[in-house]
Amino acid sequence: MQYSQTAKKLTAEEKLKLLVSFGTRISAEIRLDLLLNSIAQQITQILNVGRCIIFLIDEDKQELWSKIVQGKGLAYTEIRMPLKTQGITSHVAQTGETINLHNAYEDPRFSMAIDMVTDFRTHSLLAIPLKNNAGKVLGVFQVLNKADGLPFDHNDEGILLLLSTLASSSIEIATLYQELYGAQLETLYRLAITAEYRDQQDTRSHLKNISIITYLLAGALGMSKHDMEVIKNASPLHDIGKVALADNILLKPGKLTPEEFNKMKEHTIYGGKILEGAKSKILQVAYKMSLYHHEKWNGSGYPKGLKGEEIPLEARIVTVADVFDALCQFRVYKSAWRPEDAYEYILQESGKSFDPRIVAAFKKIYHTIRKLYLPSKATLVQESQEQKSSVPTEQTIRQATQE
Ligand code: C2E
Ligand code: SIN
Ligand code: SIN
Ligand code: FE
């Protein structure tokens, strides 16, 4: 996390106040990104420096990472580098020693890479290790360009060490929280794969597309980032009720008889039963999606025949994504449609199957999601094992929908 000075300089008294309230402010934040941003911002002001960058160690990958907050089109991009290099940050992370440079560009270990992408010129630099209570190094705090132009002194080192000590347990907790949250999302996603595994050739791409389309639809409808995330994470579970369907129905190669179709319809009821009364926000949304994703705007859907806004918004969103993607994909009972034809179908069904407001949102994002269906996409976007087993992140969505 990197933060540059833009605010006015603080008086000594204001700084002291900020120092005193530092611990309280950061202990209130559980989300790692926001926590790191808040810490970097406060350190920038307290030490009166041009910039503060926080690097954390990723043990699994043996890398140091940080988020770029400002820079040439790079806002909120993660930067990563190997833990073991000749660089300044790497040295501090590996040895736990402090590095204090009056002129960073004169030190052969200093890399200008970050300065270059963020359009910044580092002069003085102070880098200290971030350690937990057990003395283990978790990352590196860097401050750059002391405002008065003098070198960083013992006083600065002392304050930065104090702040990093105060911040370390909050950072540890937020990191654990992020890992747990990630594990929860992965579990939900794998559960969704289980439900769709039997009847679909390419379950992962169906679920991934549904996640991306619902996320973009929610955005086009003006929903908050938070709600977009919830919808993205809940939507792969909409067909969870299919686990309860017998093979002879789910896998039937041809058209279903009316009796069979009635059985098929029950997957919405089963899904509702599986997810009913859930505690987490994601599962509560998944509950509405699974029970109501086959309701239609004009009231002709199932299981309840709800009409218009009686149908929960989340379900109205996922149904558009589900039908569009189902049409574009091969099924045992149908061949794949061309995306243009599926798009036409969505437009035709506005006000019939679908909420017109959501079809209008779909129109806005169609040029973006169209790219998910380009034949070359599978080879263009090289996915890591990690990405394959979890819902797409904002970064992978951007990658997958780039020209
Ligand atoms: P699904 O294959 O995931 O399809 C989801 C929804 O996409 C369908 O909901 C329907 O609204 C739309 N859809 C899919 N294919 C077509 C199509 O060729 N034409 C049109 N107009 N719409 C299509 P629906 O119809 O309620 O079906 C729910 C689920 O029931 C389907 O999920 C599929 O698993 C199953 N299903 C539906 N019809 C048949 C069939 O004739 N044979 C078999 N074996 N399964 C079927
Ligand atoms: C980590 O927990 O060290 C990595 C988290 C991330 O990649 O954002
Ligand atoms: C957030 O949680 O990221 C923002 C809260 C909201 O807008 O719902
Ligand atoms: Fe369904």
Ligand found nearest the CA of 255: 1
DSSP string, 129-158: EEE-TTS-EEEEEEEEEETTSSPP-HHHHH
The reported pLDDT for the residue numbered 75 is 59
391 C-alpha to ligand 4 centroid (Å) = 19
Model pLDDT, residue 204:
76
Cβ-contact 174, 39 below 8 angstroms: no
What's residue 193's pLDDT? Answer: 87
Neighbouring residues of the ion ligand 4, judged by CB less than 5 Å:
239
Q: What is the rounded CA–CA span in Å between residue 160 and residue 177?
A: 25
CA of 223 to the centre of ligand 3 (A): 10
Q: What is the pLDDT of residues 214-270, one digit of tens each?
A: 999 999 999 999 999 999 999 999 999 999 999 899 888 889 999 999 999 999 999
> Which protein residue has the closest C-alpha to ligand 3 atom 4?
226
Q: Is 327 in the pocket of ligand 1 (CB under 6 A)?
A: yes
| Ligand 4 center to 220 CA (angstroms) | 23
pTM, two decimal places: 0.77
- Ligand 1: distance of its center to the CA of 322 in Å? 10
pLDDT computed for residue 194 by the predictor: 85
Q: Per residue in 58-81, pLDDT tens?
A: 999 999 999 866 544 555 678 889
Residue 131 Cβ < 6 Å to ligand 1: no
Q: Measured from the CB, is residue 263 less than 6 Å from ligand 1?
A: no
Question: How far away, in angstroms, is 176 Cα from ligand 2 center?
Answer: 10
Predicted pLDDT at 292: 98
DSSP state letters, 20-56: HHHHHHHHT--SHHHHHHHHHHHHHHHTTEEEEEEEE
What domains appear along the chain, each with residue ranges and CATH number?
Answer: 2-177 (3.30.450.40), 197-400 (1.10.3210.10)
What is the Å distance from ligand 4's center to 316 Cα? 13
Question: Residues lining ligand 3, judged by CB closer than 6 Å?
Answer: 224-227
> What is the reported pLDDT for 381?
46
Q: Exposed, middle or buried, 63 (CB in 10 Å: 0-12/13-18/19+)?
A: middle
User: Is any ligand 2 atom within 6 A of the Cβ of residue 52?
Assistant: no
Residues of the chain with pLDDT under 50: 71-72, 378-382
- The per-residue pLDDT for 2 is 60
pLDDT at 127: 97
Residues 159, 165, 169: CA angle, nearest 5 degrees = 150
- Closest atom of ligand 2 to 175 CA is 2
pLDDT at 117 (0 to 100): 80
Mutate-to-test residue for ligand 3 from 38, 76, 181, 225, highest number of ligand atoms within 8 A of CB: 225
∠ Cα 30 383 243 (to 5°): 75
| Nearest atom in ligand 1 to 250's CA | 44
Residue type, 73: G
